[in-house]
Amino acid sequence: MSTIDEEEEDAEKPYDWGLLKRFLSYLRPHRGAVALLFAILLGGIAVDLAAPFLLRRAIDGPIAAGDAAGLTRLAGFFFILVFLAGLFETAQHYVSNYAGQRILYDLRVQIFDRLQRLPLAYYDKTPVGRLLTRVTGDVENLAELFTSGIVGMLGSMLSLVLIVTAMLVIDAKMTALTMAVMPLVFLATKYFRLHARKTYRAARRAIAALTSYLNECLSGIKTIQAFNRQEACAARFDEGAALYRDRSIRAGYIYSFFWPGIELITTLAIALVLWRGGKGILEGSTTFGAFIAFWYLVRKFFEPIQELAEKYNILQSAMASSERIFAILDTPAAPAPEAPLTPPEPKGAIVFENVSFSYDGITPVLKNVSFTVEPGETVALVGYTGAGKTSVLSLLLRLYEIEKGRILVDGVDVRDWDPRELRKRFGMVFQDVFLFSGTVEENVALGRSLSREQLDAAAERVNADRVLGRLPDRWAQTLNERGASISSGERQLLSFARALAGDPSVLILDEATANIDAETEGLIQEALERILTARTSIVVAHRLSTVRKANKILVFHKGELREEGTHDQLVAQGGLYEKLHRLQFANGSRA
């Protein structure tokens, strides 16, 4: 991960009611669980606060009066409270997680859904790492917003209010005295919030910088070793690691200071209560029970205060995450027609009419390109790297939007098709095979309901049955991450099977035979003879042996369609194609 990325992830945001309100709208479908949660929260606090009152009654009543039966009865009540307290605790933990996880599930799936509908251009400019952070880290941060923020903070505030009320009920004067330490509490938490955040963030920045330097060094380890620079790099790393150490020690200083500080303030409040309460007892205006109950409440009083101070910081980073998530949800989806037309009969007819296209709106990639592909024809696209061949294929699938002209597939403008229906008519084989982790079957069938027989047939047609024969579990064989457990040639064979398994009306091969070994190439060549005759095919190839047999060859150069015709015509014409042809056939090179 780059430094820039980390800085972005580390950002925080002040409270923004708009964001919060929007997040709250995600609670609506789960309002039952949320309401239950608040009921549990209230119940828990009530039970918690009932204990001191019971204590007061026991001390002032049965214990003072010597009433053993009364004491037993009150102790019985106390045990019931104990049981309820445990129950509420369990329920609160589970229900808050339940509601939180449901909400996060909704959000996570919504982000993912959205990403499936964003135009491909969005992916061209957004690194995968950043997208991943959105569906994992940022969503987890929002979990914190719910559990710590909404539930935690509201819970803390609620219990603070109730504790103070209980204190007032028991003894107003002692309550006022306890409140006298509040300015100290405010100062301490304010100092903590300010400095803890600052020092903590400084430490985060140091570790982020260290991580990104480390990442760089590990990626460039050979360069470091080749230049004998290990010592220099180690010294620089030490420097960064020491900075992180010093900054985290500084942050640790603030933290070590805060807890004893709050403890001290708590004791101060208790000392005041002891003083005032003791005097009250001596004067007869306070009972022992009230005194001890109050003492109990004062201890409780500082718990939510500590929690509030801690959670404030969590909330800020959650705010930043929610903003980034909502930005994805607000990105406009790739355009799709409202009432898509789907030609009933797949024929495989393609027309490009004066098509112009550019990825960035500045540099033209295709200039006024027109051609026709009749059903059943094999058309080869030929030209130098960057001539625009792959762009033609992407536009055909409507992965990008054209600037001028129109593209017709089976007589209908691609912009009027439902993009998915459109793409289902094509079978694609790319130069770089992308396999998902999963079984071979999943990778070839790709969610289409295909029987083993259909799969076997597809595999056989492209000579991929040999690959299956080599795998111990055949179709059920699991492939590693990015399909690393089989060779690149075998992967390409599987991707041919994948393209043909859906019986597409148009087959598209984009440099499909580059980057593979001679043996696999032979297998594919043999298969191609069979496959290409059966349906409309568009082939981008370096190898002219495939191109030669095409019904039509389109020669692209710098975004323009320069030549068009059969192999013999183009060779006779003596243009670009003829040169390309000489290049390959004159020396019989296999590359």
Partner 1 sequence: MRSLLRLAPFIKPYARRYAGGLSLVLFGVVLAVVSPLVIKAAIDGLQEGELARPIAHFSVALVLLALARGLLMFRGRFTVIAASRSIEQDLRSALYRKMLRLPAAYFDRNSTGDLESRIINDVEGVRMAVGIAVMLSVSSGLMTVLSVAAMFSIDAKLAALTIVPLLLISLFTALLTKRIYRESETVQERLSDVTTVAQENFTGVRVVRAFAQEDEQIRKFRTASSAYVDANLALARTRGVTWGLMTMLIEAAVGVTLLVGGMGILRRTLTLGDFTAFTAYQFMLAWPVIAMGWVITIMQRGAACVDRIGAVLDEPEEETPGAASTKSAPPRGEIEVKHLTFRYTDDRPPALENLSVKILAGERVAIVGRTGSGKSTFLQLLLGHYRPDDRTVFLDGLDVNDYTREALREEIGIVAQDTFLFSDSLASNIAFGAKDEASMEAVQEAAEASRLAADLSQFPHGIEQIVGERGITLSGGQKQRTSIARALIRKPRILLLDDALAAVDVHTERDILDRLDRHFAGRTCLIVTHRFSVVAKVDRVLVFDDGRLVEDGRHEQLVDAGGLYAQLLKRQRLEETLELG
Within residues 72-91, the interface with partner 1 by CB under 8 A covers: 72, 74-75, 78-79, 81-83, 85-91
String of DSSP letters for 323-364: HHHHHHHHSPPPP--SS----SS----EEEEEEEE-SSSSS-
412 binds partner 1 (CB under 8 A): no
Residue closest to 411 by CA, chosen among 422, 400, 401, 427: 422
Stretch that binds partner 1, among 166-174, 207-215, 472-480, 545-553 (CB under 8 A): 207-215
Per CB under 8 A, which of residues 148..187 are in contact with partner 1? none
69 binds partner 1 (CB under 8 A): no
68 binds partner 1 (CB under 8 A): yes
Phi-psi sector, 574: left (phi>0), alpha (psi -120 to 50), beta:
left
The nearest distance, CB 319 to partner 1, in angstroms, is: 23
316 binds partner 1 (CB under 8 A): no
Nearer to partner 1 (CB atom), residue 423 or residue 549: 423
User: What is the number of residues in the chain?
Assistant: 591
Binding residue for partner 1, selected from 59, 160, 298, 462, defined by CB under 8 A: 59
Tell me how many helices (H) and strands (E) the chain has.
24, 12
Residues 6+ positions from 300 with CB-CB distance below 8 Å: 48, 49, 159, 163
Per CB under 8 A, which of residues 550..589 are in contact with partner 1? 557, 576, 579-580, 582-584, 586-589
Per CB under 8 A, which of residues 240..279 are in contact with partner 1? 241-242, 244-245, 248-249, 252-253, 256-257, 259-261, 263-264, 267-268, 270-272, 274-275, 278-279
430 binds partner 1 (CB under 8 A): yes
The nearest distance, CB 536 to partner 1, in angstroms, is: 16
Nearer to partner 1 (CB atom), residue 152 or residue 502: 502
Burial of 223 (0-12, 13-18, 19+ CB in 10 A): exposed
Binding residue for partner 1, selected from 332, 447, 472, 574, defined by CB under 8 A: 447
The rounded distance, in Å, linking the Cα atoms of 64 and 58 is 8
User: Tokens for 175?
Assistant: 């309550």
Number of Cβ atoms within 10 Å of the Cβ of 294 = 26
Per CB under 8 A, which of residues 454..483 are in contact with partner 1? 481-482
User: Tokens for 16?
Assistant: 């923004």
The nearest distance, CB 242 to partner 1, in angstroms, is: 6
The rounded distance, in Å, linking the Cα atoms of 162 and 498 is 65
Chain center to CA of 150: 23
The nearest distance, CB 368 to partner 1, in angstroms, is: 19
Query: Tokens 């289409």 — which residue?
Result: 448
Per CB under 8 A, which of residues 371..400 are in contact with partner 1? 384, 397, 399
Kindly determine how many residues on this chain lie close enough to bind partner 1 according to the rule CB under 8 A: 138
The nearest distance, CB 23 to partner 1, in angstroms, is: 18
Binding residue for partner 1, selected from 19, 115, 458, 462, defined by CB under 8 A: 115
Nearer to partner 1 (CB atom), residue 389 or residue 498: 498
220 binds partner 1 (CB under 8 A): yes
Per CB under 8 A, which of residues 186..205 are in contact with partner 1? none
The rounded distance, in Å, linking the Cα atoms of 297 and 368 is 81
String of DSSP letters for 72-131: HHHHHHHHHHHHHHHHHHHHHHHHHHHHHHHHHHHHHHHHHHHHHHS-HHHHHHS-HHHH
Stretch that binds partner 1, among 92-100, 152-160, 320-328, 405-413 (CB under 8 A): 92-100
Nearer to partner 1 (CB atom), residue 197 or residue 229: 229
3-class SS at 538? Answer: strand
Nearer to partner 1 (CB atom), residue 245 or residue 461: 245
301 binds partner 1 (CB under 8 A): no
The nearest distance, CB 475 to partner 1, in angstroms, is: 17
Query: Tokens 């056989």 — which residue?
Result: 460
Nearer to partner 1 (CB atom), residue 117 or residue 173: 117
439 binds partner 1 (CB under 8 A): no
Are 25 and 42 a contacting pair, CB within 8 Å? no
Binding residue for partner 1, selected from 113, 473, 519, 529, defined by CB under 8 A: 113
- Residue 502 has what DSSP assignment? T
The one-letter amino acid code at 352 reads F
2 binds partner 1 (CB under 8 A): yes
Are 22 and 98 a contacting pair, CB within 8 Å? no
Binding residue for partner 1, selected from 10, 12, 144, 216, defined by CB under 8 A: 216
Residue closest to 266 by CA, chosen among 292, 296, 288: 296
- Residue 385 has what DSSP assignment? T
Stretch that binds partner 1, among 159-167, 174-182, 237-245, 526-534 (CB under 8 A): 237-245
